[in-house]
Amino acid sequence: MLIVVVWPTLRPTGYSTKNWQEAYLAFVKLIHKCEVMQGTTRPASFITEDCEASETDDILRDALKDGHTILHLNYKGLQQLPPLLLDKSFDKVKKLFLKRNRLTTLPASIGFLQSLTVLYLPSNNISSLPNEICELKQLECLDVSQNCLLSLPSNVGQLPNLEKLHLSSNALTELPEEIGQLQSLKVLIVTNNQLENLPETICRCMKLNTLHVDKNRLHRIPHELNKLRDLKELSLMGNLLTHIPMLLVANSSLTCVNITNNPYLVTLLGNSHQFGAIHSVYSNISGCGFRDPLDLGVKPRQIFKINNCRAVLPPQMKLIWPATDGIQQPYPLLELSLRACFKFKKLLNIQQLPDPILRVLDCPVAVCAHADCGVPIYTSSFAIAEQIKGPVNKVTLFHRKQCVPLLILRLLDQSFQL
């Protein structure tokens, strides 16, 4: 008796992708029990999408025939790289896109693809990379985000042209020291892993301009990061940091530093739990120890009337300050006395001041952003947060209400009816 079972190649409406996959898996189980059908199914080739292995081979043959150097093999349900691709005849391929397949590993023969500059592998199930990946000397961009990498090959430093390394959403517990050998590296994204440390050697990647290490378990960051003169964006949200090196704050190239949601962050003045959000906001650092400072502001109305003119406050712009006069009890005395100490530092007999006070005096959390002001801010300030890029906010601090630019103040005054 012949039974023909046909699985539709398109997902019918009414099925979610998940339901459809579950149904398909049940189907595969069923037909694998039937000897007649064994060997005729290709579960990997069309479980999520509708491309069969023969279609992939067709794409490859066409690419070879037409001399294409960019290969798009995203969403093909591939469980392994097509053997055809690993033939040396593909050594002219420059860019290989393999997003959202079912790859669990890469073969050593990946090293044959000598011309690759871009290798794009997000959303697979890859748990390790072969050492041979480092034979890809032309590689400029490697994206292995959303896989299950436990480690990187120790020879990862041998990619002289690698500029972008995307490793977010894996299970990495450490980065190899050799990462410091990546002399072309500009962008390193390691968000959402299990890192407890960053290797000190990372400070040797002199071209690094973007470093995202959000949602890891970092207790500290290398002090020498301040030597990275090209570093512009440093995102450290959701870690276990206790300190931010002051030298880093002084790095003038850094335009975005986000330290939001580091519950153990201790500022020079104490634990952020005690001192509130603003105290851990440095001049070009946004975020705070335990919650997003934007959560602290009352939601302002977005439209204001001034002198019969309607003004719209940018939706990202919010004011952060305590409800009274910008200085929250019981800190004003501390703030004011610290500012006074700073102002009269030269007149004071400095040796008589206790050490902690001296240290604090030399390291204000910020200085007033008003053009000619520059008064140090130690505990309380007027802060205006502006969202400048995605989740990263720029916070501008002023030492007193009068220093907040008039237009913003009027807009916000009306909003808060101060």
Kindly state whether residue 343 participates in binding Zn ion, applying the rule CB under 5 A. no
Minimal distance, residue 416 CB to Zn ion, in Å: 20
- The distance of closest approach from Cβ of residue 369 to Zn ion in the complex, given in angstroms and rounded to an integer, is 8
Query: Cα–Cα distance between 398 and 323 in angstroms, integer?
Result: 16
For residue 215, state whether it binds Zn ion (rule: CB under 5 A): no
In degrees rounded to 5, what are phi and psi of residue 392? -90, 130
**Closer residue to Zn ion, CB minimum distance, 363 or 375:** 375
- DSSP notation for 212-276: E--SS--S---GGGGG-TT--EEE--SS------HHHHT-TT--EEE--S-TT-EETTEEHHHH-
Residue 339 interacting with Zn ion (CB under 5 A)? no
| d(C-alpha 381, C-alpha 203), whole Å | 33
The reply to whether 204 sits near Zn ion by the rule CB under 5 A is no
- Measured between alpha carbons, how far is residue 328 from residues 263, 275, 323, 382, 414 in Å? 21, 10, 8, 11, 21
The dihedrals phi and psi of 342, each to the nearest 5 degrees, come to -65, -45
CA distance 205 to 162: 11
CB of 403 to Zn ion, least distance (A): 3
Place of tokens 């539709």: 8
Contact between 399 and Zn ion per CB under 5 A: yes
**Using an 8 Å Cβ cutoff, are 53 and 45 in contact?**
yes
Question: Is the Cβ of residue 370 or residue 394 nearer to Zn ion in the bound state?
Answer: 370
Considering beta carbons, is residue 208 or 368 the nearer one to Zn ion?
368
One of 403, 404, 409, 412 touching Zn ion (CB under 5 A):
403
Axis crossing angle, helix 332-343 with helix 355-362, rounded to the nearest 10 = 80
# residues contacting Zn ion (CB under 5 A): 6
In this complex, which beta carbon is closest to Zn ion, that of residue 82 or of residue 405? 405
| CB of 282 vs Zn ion, minimal distance in Å | 16
User: Least distance to Zn ion from the beta carbon of 364, Å?
Assistant: 12
* 398: its two tokens: 């002023």
Q: Which stretch binds Zn ion (CB under 5 A): 243-251, 281-289, 352-360, 401-409?
A: 401-409
Q: Which is nearer to Zn ion, 225 or 377 (CB)?
A: 377
Nearer to Zn ion, 327 or 403 (CB): 403
Three-state secondary structure call for residue 119: strand
Nearer to Zn ion, 298 or 373 (CB): 373
Q: Judged by CB, which is closer to Zn ion: 46, or 378?
A: 378
Query: Is-contact 55 24, C-beta < 8 A?
Result: no
Q: x-or-dash pattern for Zn ion, window 348-387, by CB under 5 A? A: --------------------x-x--x-x------------
User: Per CB under 5 A, which of residues 40..79 are in contact with Zn ion?
Assistant: none
Across-strand partners of 188? 165, 211
Task: Confirm if 190 and 202 have CB atoms less than 8 A apart.
Answer: no
Residue 72 is classified by DSSP as E
Binding site for Zn ion (CB under 5 A): 368, 370, 373, 375, 399, 403
